[in-house]
Amino acid sequence: MSADDQIKNYQDLLRQYNILNQLSRTVSSTLDLNKILRIILTGVTFGDGFGFNRAFLFLIDREEKKLLGRMAIGPSSNEEAWKVWGEIQQSSFSLEEYLNSEKFDTQTRVSLLDDQIKKLKISLVQGKEISSCLEDGIPRNVDLSAGYGSDDSYRITDISRIEAGLTEFLDYPKFCIIPLISRTKKVGILIVDNKFNHREITRDDIDFLFMLSQFAASSIRNTLIYNDLKDSLEALAKLNSKLEFLKEYNEKIIESIPVSIIVLDHDFKVTLCNSNSEKLMGRTKDSLIGRKIRKGLIFLDELDLYYELSKVMKEKRAEGFYKTVVTFGGRKNSDIYDIILVPFKFSPEIPEGAVVIIENITKTVRLEQSLAEAKRLSELGRLSATVAHEIRNPLIAIGGYANRVKKKYTESGQINEENLDIIISEITRLEKIVNEILDYAAERKVEHNEINIGKVLQECISLAQAAAEQKNIDIVIDCGSDSISSREIIMNGSFDNLKQAFLNVFNNAIEASETRDKVGICIQLEEDEDGKYLIIKINNRSYLGSEEDAHNIFLPFYTTKLRGSGLGLTITKRIVEQHAGKIDVASNIDIGTTFTIKLPLVRF
């Protein structure tokens, strides 16, 4: 190498160091990613700098699986290239001057190349060159025009070693890939070529590009981190204002609902309450906050709120008090309330407090009461109408025959004894009806003792069998494997009442049956975790006709029979319920009608 060459070499080196110096100074003055990228690419292509024809920048995605085209600088055609370089040579700016000039800052012209690269995505493939250079950090010099097989450690000539998409986009066989890696973190790649003046890329070029890539990568990465941080901070700020909004929103809801809400801390001190609780407590909201719920201050019926609250806080379990009268400081409130106590924690460090939710349900309760009264009155109306009708038939017969007796007596001076018998039997019928009505109306206190229900059933079954024989009806008893007579089935109840209850159902089944029908009586003993039960099913073949008829059958004076008060099943239902039992009826065309009675037992 001649002395002149040596001098030129040193001059080139100096120039390039100088450019690096200028670039790094400019880059460090900003945190705008686009500006940084533009500075780097401009530095690489600036005639006074490296002077490459084109430069491309790709950034790696978060998953590190793809390179996304981000920015390109360079002419998109030969004509454009010469024009641009002509302009630059005319201006006497140095690189740094240019970068800091208004011209650079206001450079808004979007180049075709820049547009195209933004659409480009290159999938990284392990083992191929772009992926590998991001692993080992060493730039790759590519010359696809050199022909297959002329690869050396310095040049890549085989197109299949480059990830798909890039070479087609560049449309020029010689280029250099420079990985951008900040410490160990992959940032992206820089690609340069000389498509228009065809200058060969030298080893020195690559060495300097490599140096440039060091600070380019770290400034890009810093900016990315900074932008991420900025975004998170902005999102956080947004979230904060959202939280503020939510807090206000919640407060408005708490204020507007027609329920008193009082929040207490673990020390029974009021920390929050809504305006609705002012009316209830007789104090303003502000004077309520900070006050303590003391022992003996507020009673829910007979219960001290203080103790109920301690229980809720201790057991961390909500508790409800329904239709409660509240006594506040000895002053009884005539209204009725539903009260719910819920354990509540502000934060994990603070011991459990509680929320008291109080709803005034006076209006609802009064409405319920007037509804029940209306229902009672309408039932009474129905009852009177039916009673009147039931009494009318015997009365007509009595009156009619009395008239006949009188007429006959006037005509012949004789009294017709048969007619008198009819009058007497109709009076007996009337008496029976009136007695049943009185029985139903009487709210007699029933004494319950331990009785053998098996014995009650036996008595009823033999009475029913006698009645069934008269009508030529078969009674079929099914007790499963248990024989009722051989064991004691003990329950708490009234022997006479239960006997009446069973007889009513048995007779009902017999009366509803046609001659030669069968009436089935099935008796079962059952046991579950709640206790022991006796289940009696009574089936007859006749179908009640409709769902509604089945539903109505327990109503007073509802009857499908010719004779009878219509009170039998109503009385049975009442007796069964007095014994904490249940009676149901199901009716369909195929199996007829089945009554099911379930009674709780003491033992069997």
Binding site for other proteins (CB under 8 A): 389, 392-404, 422, 425-426, 562
Q: How far is the CB of 588 from other proteins (least distance, A)?
A: 21
Minimum CB distance to other proteins, residue 401 (Å): 6
Nearer to other proteins, 24 or 386 (CB): 386
Tokens 């059952």 belong to which residue?
Answer: 526
Rounded Cα gap, residues 324 and 361, in angstroms: 9
Whether the CA torsion 388, 390, 393, 396 is positive or negative: it is negative
Phi, psi of 180 (to 5 degrees): -110, 110
* Of residues 531 and 545, the one with the C-beta less far from other proteins: 545
Least Å distance, CB 422 to other proteins, is: 5
Nearer to other proteins, 125 or 397 (CB): 397
For the beta sheet containing 337-344, the strands, ordered from the edge strand earlier in sequence to the opposite edge, are 270-273, 260-264, 353-360, 337-344, 319-324
User: 247 or 392: whose CB is closer to other proteins?
Assistant: 392
463: its two tokens: 């009475």
Q: How far apart are CA 549 and CA 568, in angstroms?
A: 15
- CB of 439 vs other proteins, minimal distance in Å: 23
With CA atoms as reference, report the closest residue to 34 among 65, 73, 1.
73
What 8-state DSSP symbol labels residue 183?
T
Sign of the torsion angle spanned by Cα atoms 96, 97, 98, 100: positive
* SS3 of the chain: helix, strand, coil, percent, to 5: 50, 25, 30
- Rounded CA separation 179/217 (Å): 9
Closest by CA position to 71, among listed 211, 180, 234: 180
CA atoms within 13 A on the CB side of 533: 18
- 48 vs 390, beta carbon nearer other proteins: 390
Closest distance between other proteins and the C-beta of residue 416, in Å?
Answer: 9
Cβ 412 to other proteins shortest distance, Å: 12
- Which residue's CB is nearer to other proteins, number 289 or number 395? 395
Q: Contacts for 292-301 with beta carbons within 8 Å, 24 or more apart?
A: 292/267, 292/268, 293/264, 293/268, 294/268, 297/328, 297/329, 298/326, 298/327, 298/328, 298/329, 299/326, 299/327, 300/324, 300/325, 300/326, 300/337, 300/339, 301/325
Q: Would strands 303-304 and 298-300 be described as parallel, antiparallel, or unpaired? A: antiparallel
Q: How far is the CB of 500 from other proteins (least distance, A)?
A: 26
Angle at 201 between CA 200 and CA 203, to 5 degrees: 125
Say if residues 124 and 66 touch (Cβ distance below 8 Å).
yes
CB of 81 or CB of 395, closer to other proteins? 395
CA-atom Rg of the chain in angstroms: 51
C-alpha 582 chain-centroid distance: 36
CB of 467 to other proteins, least distance (A): 20
Sequence-separated (6 or more) residues with CB below 8 Å from residue 66: 60, 121, 122, 123, 124
Distance in Å, CB of 451 to other proteins, minimum: 38
Q: In this complex, which beta carbon is closest to other proteins, that of residue 178 or of residue 398?
A: 398
Provide the β-strand partners of residue 527.
532
Query: Least separation, in Å, of the C-beta of 383 and other proteins?
Result: 16
Closest to other proteins by CB, 236 vs 562, is 562
Q: How far is CA 211 from CA 17, 180, 181, 214, 218, in A?
A: 9, 10, 11, 5, 12
Alpha helices in 257-288 (DSSP H): 276-281, 285-288
Minimal distance in Å, beta carbon 426 to other proteins?
Answer: 6
Shortest reach from residue 384's CB to other proteins, in Å: 14
Cα–Cα distance, 340 to 405 (Å, whole number): 74
Which is nearer to other proteins, 88 or 430 (by Cβ)? 430
Work out how close the CB of 521 gets to other proteins at its nearest, in angstroms, rounded to a whole number. Answer: 25
Under 8 Å between Cβ of 336 and 356? no
Tokens for 593?
A: 């009608």
Min dist CB 598 to other proteins, Å, is: 32
* Contact indicator for 82, 204 with CB cutoff of 8 Å: no
